[in-house]
Amino acid sequence: MEQTFGNNYDHGNTVRFFRRWWRVLTIVAVAAAVVSLVVALLIKPLYKSSAVIFPTNSNRLSKAIMDYHYSLDFMDYGIERDCEYAIQILTSKRMQQAVCDRFNLMEHYAIKGANPLFKLEKQYKSNISVKRTEFLGVEIGVLDQDPQWAADIANYMAAMYDTLCHEIHADRAASAADVMNGVVAQMEAEIDSLAKSKTESGKWKEILIADKCEQLADLQTRAIQTNVDKGLEVSYKYLVDEAKPADKKAYPKRLLIVIAGTLGAVVVCIFSLLVFCPAKKEEE
């Protein structure tokens, strides 16, 4: 039987192929569909819950309140930079460790055997996702076999975000406050020394003291701001959507598994027949 290709391909070959092997292909398709369905039913369903937050502006709250010359409003929604900061914190190792400890995920995921920490991290990243939304929000998505656990983990991460932000900001503010308090004390000592000095006198001495007092006032304002920031506990986000337990599974999609498994088996069968059972040549 002569086979031609391209525009001159004889479609009769295809018809004859399926006419010859239709029983085999049907058996393979039915068997694959049954096996795929059984596999799909054995997979434990996962439920997804999501919490959506808007990171707030990362401007200093104390400066925004105390300095009327400060043009940026801490009440504004965060910009793209703040969104990236939020994603970095939510996907950090500190967040992962806090979630794993709080919910005892090692036991919850039934992780045993060698390399448990590696397996836990892999399962954590598989079930928990953090991504930016279209309008600069951040979505925390959690998959779990228990819909309530999925919602609880997502809400805990949203709440823990404030805690981690406060720790970071408080640590930086404490260092800045120590420096500023030292500078203020040094400036006060200089003014006191200048006031008691007998080498400087008259108008020139008054000018020096007035100049240093003006510098001291500015330093004291900055010191107050850093001390306020050190002890300030505010929310660094707007919680747009709180996570709720899902009433419908998100995974697996059983119909897709059955269709994919059946089509895959049929395609493999067709190629196998073409390779190992070529059509017999017709006698000339």
Q: Where are the domains of the chain?
A: 6-41+256-276, 44-251
What is the predicted pLDDT for the residue at 69?
Answer: 47
Mean pLDDT, residues 231-254 taken together:
81
Query: To 10 degrees, what angle do helices 254-276 and 12-42 make?
Result: 140
- Under the banding of pLDDT at 50, 70 and 90, the label for residue 68 is very low
What is the predicted pLDDT for the residue at 10?
Answer: 61
d(CA 239, CA 261): 41
Average pLDDT across the chain, whole number: 79
Q: Which of 14-28, 82-96, 255-269 has the highest mean pLDDT?
A: 82-96
Topology classification of domain 44-251: Bacterial polysaccharide co-polymerase-like (3.30.1890)
d(CA 136, CA 86): 10
Q: Is the pLDDT of residue 215 over 50?
A: yes
Angle at 85 between CA 80 and CA 90, to 5 degrees: 125
For the entire predicted model, the pTM comes to 0.65
The CB-side HSE value for 213 (13 A sphere, CA atoms) comes to 9
